[in-house]
Each structure stands twice: as structure tokens, then as C-alpha cells.
Amino acid sequence: MTTDAERLTVVTGSSVTRRKVISIVSHVLLIGASIVMLYPLLWLMASSFRPENEIFTSGVSVLPSANWSFDSYVRGWNGLRVGFGQLFINSFVISALSVIGNVVACSLAAYAFARLEFAGRRFWFAMMLMTLMLPYQVTLIPQYVLFLNLGWVNTILPLVVPKFLAADAFFIFLMVQFFRGIPKELDEAARMDGAGPWRIYWKIILPLSMPVLATAAIFTFIWTWDDFFGPLIYLNDLRQYTVMLGLRTFTDNTGMSDYGGMFAMSVLSLVPIFVFFLLFQRLLIEGIATTGMKR
């Protein structure tokens, strides 16, 4: 007992200075790497303040132009006839609904695959994985015809309803992997106390899965926000366009383009997803590690 305690103090004592060195080295490395990561964003911002005819002659400079102005922002924001404000609302509604749908529906399916025993489980799991493997380009037209017959084209339903039906197998698979990491003894104990599958799902699995649920929420929001192919195919009305779709109308190879507006709105379009990321990343650190759950 005493030897253990001694060893512990020795270990901690010698590691104080070592830890400091490691910490400084880590920070230096991380700051250096951050610059590489950040550079494109700085360039994007610098470009958004440049006049149109300086954007392509300035190379990769991130220094602000002498002729900088907010013109691109004003032009871009008022673009597309309905204004970009409407597009931000549209994107937000679709993304937020997708987050709810994905987190709820995928966690239900993942719980079934990870914890429940039923006939055909392996078969359905394989089917689910298969849906990940086929390139979407070839199911696009049959899917379009399907949604057309349902009368959903030119509404947001084709973009949102599949999320509530767990069509995104990525997240089911992700959650399965995490659910399986939760100690099974917890289920067993709860079952002894008479808890059914629903209670175990609700009271044990979900609370212990905050990191993966937060991950799913973050990815869903960002990927839905960034998606343009779905909105491109299913939305016809300018008033329903999403931000990503709007961004792509700024540049046309055959006529006049508005690169400044495109850069300006690209910068603005990053704000909601970055804020969403910052809000939800707090949840990433809550998990078994911090809830003090003993095995």
C-alpha cells in the first residue's frame, strides 16, 4: 500500500516538468497546423472584400485590398431576387429538421442492431450497409420519379422525410459502433430491475451516448447545409432555394458571373454551421468519461 502511494508521487513528480515540455511542444505544433487550416478561410474573407477585377489577379494573398469594400456583401445578400436572407431561413429549416430526424430515427435503428436480438438482424444490417455503397447518381432518377408520384417535388419533403426514416445509414452504423461500447452489465442490471427495451434505450443508452449523438447532430447539420444535389433536383422555386444552391447561381460559365457575391455569401454561409458546431461540440466531451460511470 505504501509502495503504491510512493510510486504514485514519484510518477507525478517527475512528469510535471515533462508534461510542461510536452504541452509547449504540442501548442507550437497545433498553432502551426492551425495556420495551414485557417489560411483558406482568410483567403476567402480577403477575396470577399476585393473588387471583382482584383480577385483573380491577387493570387493567394490574404492581405486586404486597398480598394476593399462591402459591395460584394450588399450585392450578394440582395441577389437571387428573393434575397439571401430567405435562403438562409430555408437552409436552416431543412438542416434543423434533418438533425431531429436523423438523431431520433437512426438511434432507434442503431439500438435494435446493437442490442436487440431478432430474426433477420444480420440480413437487415447488410441491407443497410449496402445502401451506403451505391453511388447516388444512378438512383437519382428513379428516386425523382418516386417523389414525383408522391407529389413531393418542389417541396422540402424529399429532403427531410428520408431523415425521419433513418435513410442515412452512415449514422446508424456510427451509433451501432458506439452503443456496442457501452458496458452490457448496465443493461443486465436494468433488466433485473424489470426495465424493458424502451427504458434501457431511453434511460441508459441515450444518456451515455451524448458524444456520438452530438457528432451525429453536428455532421447532419453541416452536411445537410452543404448538400446541393438534393435541393438542386427537388426544389424549383427560387423562394425555396437553399444557400448552397444560391451560391452556385453566382457563377455561370456562359455569361456574367458575380464572384465577389459568391465569396461574400460563402463566408456568411459558414457562420451558421460554425456556430452550430461550437454549440454542439460541448456535448462531445460528455460521456462515460465524465459521468463517472463505474463499471
Partner 1 sequence: MATQVDTSASTGAGRVASPSFWSGVWQNHAPGYLFLLPWLIGFLGLTIGPILTSFYLSFTHFDLLTAPRWAGIDNYMRMFTNDPKFAASMRVTFVFVVFSVPLKLAFALGVALLLNRGMKGLPLYRALFYLPSLLGASVAIAILWRQMFAGNGLVNQLLANFGIQGPSWISNPNTSLWTLIILAVWQFGSPMIIFLAGLRQIPQDMYEAASLDGASKWRQFWKITLPMLTPVVFFNAIIQTIEAFKSFTPAFIISGGTGGPINSTLFYTLYLYNEAFGFFRMGYASALAWVLLAIVALFTAFSFLTSKYWVHYDD
Partner 2 sequence: MSIRLRRRQFLMGSSALAAAAAFGAGPAWAQGATLRQFFWGGQARADRTYAVNDLFTAANGASVDSSFLAWGDYWPKLATETAGGNAPDIVQMDYRYIVEYAKRNAIAPLDEFVGGALKLDGFDEDQLEGGKVDGQLYGISLGANSVAQLVNLSAFEEAGIEPPNRDTTYDEIREKGEAFKAANIRGGIRIIADGSGSEPMLDNWLRQKGLALYTAEGTLGFDADAAVEWFTLWQGLRNDGICVTAEDQALDTNGPLETTMVVMGKAAMMPSNSNQLVAFRTLMTDNLTITNYPRIAPGVGGGHYRKPSMFFSVGGSSANKELAAEYLSFFVNDLEAAKVLGVERGIPCIDKTREAVAPDLGEADQIALEFVANLGDLLGPLPPPPPAAAGEIDASLLRVLSQEVAFGARTPEDAGQYFVSEATAILQRAS
Residues contributing to the site for partner 2 (CB under 8 A): 52-57, 79-81, 140-142, 144-145, 148-149, 153, 228, 232-233, 236-238, 245, 248-259, 261
Side chain identity at residue 39, one-letter code? Y
Closest to partner 1 by CB, 64 or 196: 196
For residue 38, how many C-alpha atoms fall within 13 Å in the half-sphere facing its CB? 8
Closest to partner 2 by CB, 79 or 287: 79
Closest to partner 1 by CB, 70 or 202: 202
Helix axes 140-149, 157-164, angle to 10 degrees: 100
Dihedral over alpha carbons 92, 97, 98, 103 (to 10 degrees): 130
Residue 278: contacted member of partner 1, partner 2, none (CB under 5 to 8 Å, by partner type) = partner 1
Residue 133: contacted member of partner 2, partner 1, none (CB under 5 to 8 Å, by partner type) = partner 1
Closest approach of partner 2 to the CB of residue 153, in Å: 7
Closest approach of partner 2 to the CB of residue 228, in Å: 8
Q: Residue 293 has what DSSP assignment?
A: -
Residue with cell 447545409: 225
Closest to partner 1 by CB, 14 or 236: 14
Closest approach of partner 2 to the CB of residue 115, in Å: 38
134 grid coordinates: 451505391
Residue with cell 448496465: 186
Residue 204: contacted member of partner 2, partner 1, none (CB under 5 to 8 Å, by partner type) = none
Closest approach of partner 1 to the CB of residue 82, in Å: 21
Closest to partner 1 by CB, 75 or 248: 248
The region that residue 195 occupies, defined by phi over 0 for left and psi between -120 and 50 for alpha, beta otherwise, is: beta
Closest to partner 1 by CB, 90 or 107: 107
The span from the CA of 121 to the CA of 135, in Å, is 25
Spatial contact of 159 and 230, defined as CB atoms under 8 Å apart: yes
Side chain identity at residue 9, one-letter code? T
Closest approach of partner 1 to the CB of residue 7, in Å: 6
Residue 105: contacted member of partner 1, partner 2, none (CB under 5 to 8 Å, by partner type) = partner 1
Closest approach of partner 1 to the CB of residue 111, in Å: 5
Residue 50: contacted member of partner 1, partner 2, none (CB under 5 to 8 Å, by partner type) = none
Q: At residue 257, what are phi and psi to the nearest 5 degrees?
A: -115, 165
Residue 148: contacted member of partner 2, partner 1, none (CB under 5 to 8 Å, by partner type) = partner 2
Spatial contact of 205 and 182, defined as CB atoms under 8 Å apart: yes
Residue 25: contacted member of partner 2, partner 1, none (CB under 5 to 8 Å, by partner type) = none
Spatial contact of 214 and 280, defined as CB atoms under 8 Å apart: yes
The span from the CA of 56 to the CA of 65, in Å, is 12
